Amino acid sequence: MQLDSSPLRAADITPDLKRQFAFLSGGRGDNGSPIIVFPEFPAFGEITDREFHNVLTYLTSVPSLSSTDVGFILVIDRRQDRWAAVKGTLLRIAGSFPGNLQLVLVLRPTTLFQRTLSDILFKFNKDEFKMKVPVIMLSSITELHSYIDRSQLTQELGGTQEYCHEKWISHRTAIEGFALMVKKTAQTLQSFGTELAETELPNEIQATTTLLSTHTNKKDKMKEDLLVALGQGSRLLESINEPVVRDPDHNMNQDELENLATVQRLLSQLDETERAFDEFWVRHQTKLEQCLQLRHFEHNYREVRAVLGQVSEKLATFSEVGISPAHADHIFCELTTYEERVCEVLDRALSLAREGDELIQNSHYAEDSIQPKCSELRAICESVSSSLRAKKDHLLKAMELHHCLERASKWVDDGIYLLASQPVDKCQSHEGAELALQELERYLDNAGQNQLTDLSTIWTEYEAVLNQQFRDQVEKVFQKQTSMQEMFDKRRVSLKKLAAKQTRPVQPVAPRPEAFIKSPLSSPAHRAQQEKNCSETDSGNNCEKGNGQLQNGDSNSRHASLSEEEENLAVLRRHVMNELLETERAYVEELLCVLQGYASEMDNPAMVHLIPAPLQNKKEVLFGNMPEIYHFHRRTFLRELEQYTDCPELVGRCFLQRMTDLQIYEKYCHNKPRSESLWRQCSDCAFFQECQKKLEHKLGLDSYLLKPVQRITKYQLLLKEMLKYSKSCEGADDLQEALTSILGILKAVNDSMHLIAITGYEGNLSELGKLLMQGSFSVWTEHKKGHAKVKDLARFKPMQRHLFLHEKALLFCKRREENGEGYEKAPSYSFKHSLNMSAVGITENAKGDNKKFEIWCNSREEVYIVQAPTAEVKTTWVNEIRKVLTTQLEACREASQQRAPDSVFQFPPVPSGAVSLSPFKSGQKSFKKGEEKKAESCSPDVNSSSSPKPTGKGSPTSPDHKTKRQSDPTPFGFKDAGPPPLHLSRARWFSTSSLLQTKWRGWNKASLSLDASEEHDGYSSAEDPLNSDPEDDNGKKLCAGKYTVMADYEKSGAQDLSVKSGDMVQLVKEGDDGQWFVRNLSSSKEGWITAANLITLIGKSKSCQSLTSSGSGSGNLSTSSSCSETYTSFSDIKP
């Protein structure tokens, strides 16, 4: 028995159906009863009850309900079987037929025995079958035809109906599968519709977008399933209609017609389901899209509302009215610039409100939520617009008053200038007084709107913009105007009196030269000179000597003029002070803006993603010590400057007190190249653009990073202006000192910027002491050691070197220009070599050029001829080097006196005359062009004794001890009276090392009097004993004669002469410009060669009879030899 409650499907019992022991032929009885045929099936007895029940149950379920209600007609074909088979079949049908029966027709066996047996046994066993319907035993097909029409019977039963069991099974399987698909599709669509209807709408844009996308994807999948089902139904319909398509005369049986109707019904049901789902989806999709629009609207509303709040707060900050016209203009410019931003925000807000209106017009489901927001946006926009207009009107009113004050102040200043410029002496005449009076009247008549009205009118008209500071400013200008008008009134009264006087003839008298006034008191210089002259008189009210005697003796007018000019200068000083304070305040604000708008944003987590990798953790590189500069100016310098508002002439004291603090700019400038390089690398990044956009700056960060450099430069300009108008004031000296100090800082910054560009120096530059000078020079070298001699002598083209003079060393570098822009284009310097300042000497004047000087060491074994760009530069460098060497000597002397106060030694007896020991010049010295230099004197006390005897032990001045400036002692102190003074006609400057390492040789010379004159001054610090320098005894001197050239020389001008090594040349005559006329005997050519080049070319020539020493014999010692024998190290003295 079939136990399952679910209906059977052909697919479930396909094997049983294929055995074909029973089938629906599609035929119908006269009353439309379905016909089930039991064909001959020898193995009928082997069919199980389950198989029999399932097949009959399924067959009875196939026809329509209207047909099954009439009942089934069973046709049992047992013509080839026996009675037993007939009996068995009838018993099974009677026991388990699931449907209603109308008639049972049995084709009994055709054999005589079996037919007879069937007739007999059927009668006896009729009651056994227990059938409620008649069972008719038929002997032939003909009898069957009398019950059922042949057209409803298959061909096996003598009918005309076409039947294919396999095709029938196939159609039933496809129809039932299609029906199941339609059912599942309908259920799925129903479930999806329920899901969509129950879905809550999200509150976020992303969630709404995701939900809409998810639902759309599911809908598309459903549509695909619908299309698949429709396709399958269409194909099934075509298969059922195939016989009709193939043969239009074909008549379908009732089962085929029912199958066709079933498929068509399913297809219609599927179409209706699809149509209903599409309508539902359109509604659902519209709602989701409206939800997404609402979420976008709400998001934009929140953003616009926040920006409108920021705009309102920003507009509230524009409450200042400015402290000057420039400041007010700046504020108004900022407001005008910000107005563009405000207009953008307002346009965005109004656009959003219009977008909300469109949503409402499109029947949005959230109309009640959108409408209030649109109204609020419009109200806020109107409020912001009104606030902006009010701020602009407020600032315009303030600017109007500022410009009125500016015009009035300028009018007053011009009036003071006019009073100061009127010549007092010319005003004493009737005509002069008339002209001056007319000039004053014209000036007053042209006052126009420049003059301020009464204060009450101003208070009333500008009440809205007047704060206490503004009121004070108005009162100050008004008081200034009142004072100027009083001065005008007094001058007019005086001039009217002078004009009213009757002129009388005066006998012309020649004025005293010192009392004649040629020009009016119109400048600070004139006024200062007048005050100086006035101070020479007995009375402070009478300036006859300084200003001369006017014919009418009107001293009161003259003092009035002095007072007017002092007021004029005071006005100018106030102008400079105002500019200093205003620019200082603006500078502090700009620094704060950069630090808050850029530096702090680098630590903002919300901005980290915009910072490029090269910029990360580089805040100190980009901004340097700008925070330190800001805090100094904000907390200290600005406040102290404001204290000098009423006495601007004393502001120099503020600069002097803070000069050490201002050196913080050196650190900033040192870092500027690194900052500039980092900026160029990252200038286009989104971080800088976003910060600039927030700050609403028109200029980039690089412009603001340059502000500190511009500011430290601005100070010296302002100090110069202030000093110009304060030369006779109390603080003039402080202003001059402050200006000098600021310029010193600028020079130190400039020098250090060059210093940090040095490359290739392996030591520590900070150990070389303070950088004193730096500059570019042309350098020739003369080395006298080994093979280097020929190489260096052949170098006629100078080397271009950049020299750095430190306290302890002189560096030679080669300048190399770098490609790039800005600071990246700054030059670099390749280090070549250095000279220790404790081992160098200088010769101030090199032959042939007043711009050259020599730097040498190691007893002139290394000589560097240095040519400066100008004679002034050369003088500056020589003086600075001289100061270094002098400082070394003084430091060593002090160290010697402190470390060995009791250490003395005595010189050997000297034949005659006092010897004065001095490393400085002590007398006059003649130059080639008649130059003279006064000598500096530094004569230590010297005591005579039979033998030197040191009193100390363990002296640090032994030859093996490494000498250092500022620490090594030099034996300048002697206890007893010594040899007579030694007069040195040539000043020599020695380093400490050369003095300490010089060997004691005794006083065994015939004479110690050195009066020989030399060509140039020498400053020596050679490390070797100084008497080993034969060429430095009295200098080289060229004279006419024949010489052999030792090196090649190419001419540099049309009149110059070229020579080659080995040529014989003749020096004919010396010119006035330090050149010699030379004849080349080898090439028979003539030309000019400088004396310096000639010395280099023929210096070692064996026939160089012109190179002579100015002194000869042992009695004439060079300064270096005498000094080397005089200044002796303690360690070399033997007891």
Gap between the Cα atoms of 76 and 86, Å rounded: 8
In the DSSP assignment, the letter for residue 595 is I
347 or 541: which leads in pLDDT: 347
Please give the average per-residue pLDDT across 899-921, as a whole number.
39
Q: What pLDDT is attached to residue 734?
A: 92
Coil, strand, or helix at residue 89?
helix
* % of the chain residues with pLDDT over 90: 15
Measuring CA to CA, how many Å separate 453 from each of 458, 471, 653? 7, 14, 39
Is 414 a residue whose pLDDT tops 50?
yes
Higher pLDDT, 1059 or 859: 1059
For 144, residues 6+ apart whose C-beta sits below 8 A from its C-beta are 75, 105, 107, 138, 153, 157, 158
CB 378 within 8 A of CB 353: yes
Distances (CA, A) of 671 to 32, 397, 1002: 111, 45, 57
Confidence of residue 653 (pLDDT cuts 50, 70, 90): very high
DSSP per residue, 1111-1124: S-STTS--HHHHHH
User: What tokens appear for 10 in the block?
Assistant: 């052909």
8 Å CB contact between 919 and 1091: no
Greater pLDDT, 531 or 1054: 1054
Highest mean pLDDT among 226-235, 540-549, 1122-1131: 226-235
Concatenated DSSP letters of 845-908 = --TT-TTEEEEEETTTTEEEEEE-SSHHHHHHHHHHHHHHHHHHHHHHHHHHHHH-TT----BP
pLDDT, one tens digit per residue, over 867-891 is 999 999 999 999 999 999 888 888 8
Q: What is the side-by-side strand order in the sheet with 799-806?
A: 758-759, 828-836, 809-816, 799-806, 771-783, 862-867, 852-857, 840-843, 1018-1019
pLDDT of the residue at 115: 62
* Predicted confidence (pLDDT) at residue 560 exceeds the cutoff of 90: no
Identity (one letter) of the amino acid at 619?
K
**Can you say whether the dihedral through the CA atoms of 719, 721, 722, 723 is positive or negative?**
positive
d(CA 62, CA 13): 14
∠ Cα 131 136 141 (to 5°): 145
Quote the pLDDT of residue 900.
57
**Which pLDDT score, from 0 to 100, does residue 794 have?**
43
pLDDT over 50 (residue 440): yes
> Does the pLDDT of residue 219 top 60, yes or no?
yes
Mean pLDDT taken over the chain: 74
Q: Which regions of 964-1045 does DSSP assign to beta strands (E)?
A: 1018-1019, 1041-1044
331: phi then psi, degrees, rounded to nearest 5? -65, -45
Give the pLDDT confidence of 948-970 residue by residue, as tens digits: 333 333 333 333 333 333 333 33
Please determine, for residue 941, whether its predicted confidence score (pLDDT) is greater than 50.
no
Range 1009-1035 average pLDDT = 36
CB neighbour burial string for 894-916, b if at least 16 within 10 angstroms, e if fewer: ebbeeebeebbbbbeebeeeebb
More confident residue, 1014 or 463: 463
Average pLDDT score over residue span 315-344:
84
Residue 466 near residue 474, CB atoms below 8 Å: yes
Handedness of CA 286, 291, 294, 295 (dihedral sign): negative
Burial (CB < 10 A; 0-12, 13-18, 19+), residue 652, is buried
Q: In whole angstroms, give the CA distance from residue 908 to residue 1002.
A: 7
Sign of the alpha-carbon dihedral angle for 1085, 1086, 1087, 1090? positive
Reported as a single tens digit per residue, the pLDDT across 1098-1127 is 754 544 333 333 333 333 323 333 233 323
Predicted pLDDT at 165? 86
Judge contact between 658 and 636, C-beta under 8 A. Answer: yes
**How many Cβ atoms sit within 10 Å of the Cβ of residue 313?**
9
Q: Between vectors from CA 265 to CA 264 and to CA 269, what angle results, nearest 5°?
A: 115
Whether 982 shows a pLDDT value over 80: the answer reads: no
Q: What average pLDDT does this structure show over 151-170?
A: 85
Six-digit token pair at 571? 């006005």
CA distance 1114 to 1123: 15
Q: What is the pLDDT of residue 918?
A: 33
What pLDDT does 184 receive?
Answer: 86
Sequence-separated (6 or more) residues with CB below 8 Å from residue 544: 515, 537
The pLDDT score that the predictor gives to residue 727 is: 84
Q: Using one digit for the tens of pLDDT, what is the confidence trace for 41-59?
A: 888 878 888 888 888 888 8
Half-sphere exposure of 853 (CA within 13 A, CB side): 22
| pLDDT (0 to 100) of residue 718 | 92
Cα separation, 762 vs 137, whole angstroms: 133
**Structure confidence by residue, pLDDT tens digits, 79-130:** 877 777 777 777 788 777 888 888 888 887 876 666 666 666 666 565 555 5
In this structure, of 13-17, 133-137, 412-416, the range with the lowest mean pLDDT score is 133-137
> 977 pLDDT band (50/70/90 cuts)?
very low
pLDDT band at 424 (very low <50, low <70, confident <90, very high): low
Cβ atoms 979, 944 nearer than 8 A = yes
Q: Which two tokens stand for residue 42?
A: 């020898």
pLDDT at 1015: 35
**Residue 779 binned pLDDT confidence (cut-offs 50, 70, 90):** very high
pLDDT beyond 80 at 760: yes
User: How far apart, in whole angstroms, are the C-alpha atoms of residue 727 and residue 31?
Assistant: 142
Phi, psi of 600 (to 5 degrees): -70, -30
Contact 232, 209 (CB under 8 A): no
Nearest in space to 590 (alpha carbons), one of 681, 709, 488, 755: 709
| Residue 580, pLDDT above cutoff 70 | yes
780 forms bridges with which residues in the sheet?
A: 865
The proportion of the chain whose per-residue pLDDT surpasses 70, expressed as a percent, equals: 74
* Cβ-proximal residues to 462 (8 Å cutoff; 6+ apart), any chain: 397, 398, 400, 401
Q: If you average pLDDT over residues 282-304, what whole number do you get?
A: 89
Rounded to whole angstroms, how far apart are CA atoms 165 and 398?
108
Contact (Cβ atoms closer than 8 angstroms) between residue 451 and residue 481: yes
Beta bridge partners of residue 24, listed in sequence order: 36
| Rounded Cα–Cα distance for residues 802 and 813 (Å) | 5
Please list, residue by residue across 449-488, b when 16 or more beta carbons sit within 10 angstroms of its beta carbon and e when fewer do. Answer: ebebeeeeebeeebeebbeeebeebbeebbebbeebeebb
**The residue to which tokens 């059912």 are assigned:** 183
**Which distant-in-sequence residues (6+ apart) come within 8 Å of 787 by Cβ?**
none
Q: Write b or e for each residue in 1051-1077: b if 16 or more Cβ atoms lie within 10 A of its Cβ, otherwise e.
A: eeeeebbebeeebbbebeeeeeebbbb
pLDDT tens digit string along 790-821? 444 445 678 999 999 999 999 999 988 765 55
* pLDDT attached to residue 740: 93
Radius of gyration of the chain (CA): 61
Is residue 521 within 8 A of residue 420, CB to CB? The reply is yes
pLDDT class for 587, splitting at 50, 70, 90? very high
